[in-house]
């Protein structure tokens, strides 16, 4: 029984990606990502998006893996941009004309009836700013300078490494040539016989 409960717990997972914070510019459109995975499949799956846990801003229903979601209800400023017939069960939405009052917590809920009413969710936090913060140019220049210097050092190191490897290769090639030529003589019977004969000849004379 314990294992069965564990399997059910991991049957469906909801995710908002690597980071759960999003920054948007006042007046722009912002993507709120959400995907889900399920091992046991789904039938008549229900998903909802809430703002600050209470305000329902999107409600959709998915009949099966072969069908796209059907809209049940939504806030006029919210548009569904996901797809569930592809590889990933994507139930992402876009919030249009973001206002400062839109900043807060957005929760993506997924309910799969196949899972005995177990509900799963993932949360994303939206920050709305008047303008994107401009970084201090001096800091940027220092960073660029440091990075540029590091890249320069890296290129220099790679060039030196190449030259060293080239010299080593040439040296090894030279040794190989020596080995090849000497082993070539050793393996030639005539050469051996000839050299033996040559070595024996001077003492006789």
Tokens of residue 195, six digits: 């050299």
DSSP bridge partners of 107: 50, 123
Domains of the chain in start order, with CATH, are: 13-129 (2.60.40.10)
Q: What is the CA radius of gyration of the chain?
A: 35
Do residues 125 and 21 make contact, with C-beta atoms less than 8 angstroms apart?
yes
Give the model confidence (pLDDT) of 36-70 as tens digits. Answer: 888 888 889 999 999 999 999 999 999 988 899 99
The two three-digit tokens of residue 127, written as one number: 């920050």
Alpha carbons 138 and 120: distance in angstroms, whole number: 46
The reported pTM is: 0.58
Q: Within 10 Å of residue 160's Cβ, how many Cβ atoms?
A: 10
| pLDDT tens per residue, range 62-113 | 998 889 999 999 999 999 999 988 778 899 999 999 999 999 999 999 998 8
> CA-to-CA distance for 61 and 79, rounded, in angstroms?
15
The secondary structure of residue 90, as a DSSP letter, is: E
What is the pLDDT at residue 168? Answer: 63
Give me the percent of the chain exceeding a pLDDT of 70.
62
**What are the start-end ranges of the H helices in the chain?**
2-9, 137-187, 189-204
Give every CB contact of residue 70 below 8 A, 6+ residues apart in sequence.
60, 61, 62, 63
Question: To 10 degrees, the CA torsion angle through 85, 87, 93, 96?
Answer: -100
What's the order of all strands across the beta sheet hosting 55-62?
A: 21-25, 119-129, 104-111, 45-51, 55-62, 70-74
Number of H helices, E strands in the chain: 3, 12
């Amino acid at each position: 029984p314990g294992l069965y409960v564990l399997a059910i717990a991991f049957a469906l997972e909801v995710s908002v990606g690597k980071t759960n914070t999003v920054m948007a510019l006042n007046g722009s459109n912002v993507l709120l990502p959400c995907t889900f995975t399920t091992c046991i499949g789904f039938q008549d799956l229900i998903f909802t998006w809430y703002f600050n846990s209470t305000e329902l801003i999107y409600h959709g229903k998915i009949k099966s893996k072969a069908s796209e979601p059907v809209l049940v209800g939504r806030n006029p400023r919210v548009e569904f941009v996901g797809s569930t017939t592809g590889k990933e069960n994507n139930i992402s939405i876009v919030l249009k004309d973001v206002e400062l009052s839109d900043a807060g917590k957005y929760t993506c809920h997924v309910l799969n009836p196949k899972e005995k009413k177990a509900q799963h969710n993932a949360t994303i936090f939206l920050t709305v700013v008047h303008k994107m913060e401009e970084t201090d140019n001096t800091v940027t220049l220092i960073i660029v300078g440091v990075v540029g210097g590091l890249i320069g050092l890296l290129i220099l190191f790679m060039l030196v490494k190449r030259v060293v490897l080239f010299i080593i290769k040439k040296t090894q090639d030279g040794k190989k040539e020596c080995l090849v030529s000497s082993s070539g003589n050793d393996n030639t019977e005539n050469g051996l016989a000839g050299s033996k004969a040559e070595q024996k000849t001077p003492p006789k004379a």
